[in-house]
Amino acid sequence: MRRRIVCTVLLILAGFFIVRSNFFTIKAIYVKAEKTECTDTQTIKNSSNLLGQNLLFLNSSKIKKDLKFKFFCIRSVGLSRQFPSQVKLFVSGREPVAILSVLKSKEATGSSFLENIATPGAEPSSDSFLIDNEGVIFSKISEQSSIPKIYFYDLSFSLGQKLAGS
């Protein structure tokens, strides 16, 4: 009986030590990022809000979800705990498969319709977005690119939007 009481007290003290001590407090974050044009490693590190948290009670799924919500260009986040006080984040970005471009106007005649499809004669607006193979709109684009363009008339898109049917 006495042995159980001593073991219980030692377990409670060990638990208290783990929760209250700075031994498992995150002091260093390392970020490896690939194809994340919308952000950099320092910004990811700062946005993760990991410094000062307890490594043992870390909610990795919430951290991954928050980073993907803050940066639409992030496709996946991996998290590795390095005991006793370090975390490594592996971040990979989205790869564009097309550019969505909204036209300000379209030609009125039917004969010009085919010409607009082949080479858009209508004036494109400044709203052009990159979209990945999952249908997620993740970045605005202003410069020319060799990525295929898809033109729309009278539609609006926003960052982070996922196209229906994707």
Between 14-23, 35-44, 69-78, 96-105, the lowest mean confidence (pLDDT) is in 14-23
Predicted pLDDT at 81: 94
pLDDT at 150 over 60: yes
Share of the chain above pLDDT 70, in %: 86
Between 77-81, 122-126, 144-148, the lowest mean confidence (pLDDT) is in 122-126
Whether 151 and 123 have beta carbons less than 8 Å apart is answered as no
pTM for the whole structure: 0.74
Cα–Cα nearest to 117, from 151, 141, 69: 151
The pair of structure tokens assigned to 48 is 């993760």
Predicted pLDDT at 123: 52
Whether 64 and 79 have beta carbons less than 8 Å apart is answered as yes
Cα–Cα nearest to 73, from 46, 101, 40: 40
Q: What average pLDDT is seen over the chain?
A: 84
> What is the residue-wise DSSP string for 101-126?
EEES---SSSHHHHHHHHS--SPEEE
The CA-atom distances, in angstroms, between 128 and each of 2, 28, 70, 117, 123 are: 73, 38, 20, 17, 12
Q: Which helix (H) or strand (E) holds 45?
A: helix 41-47
pLDDT at 108 over 80: no
DSSP β-bridge partners for residue 34: 92
Predicted pLDDT at 109: 46
Between 46-55, 62-71, 108-117, 137-146, the lowest mean confidence (pLDDT) is in 108-117
Predicted pLDDT at 72: 92
> What's the rounded mean pLDDT across residues 49-56?
91
Q: What is the DSSP letter of 146?
A: S
> What's the rounded mean pLDDT across residues 3-32?
87
Predicted pLDDT at 151: 86
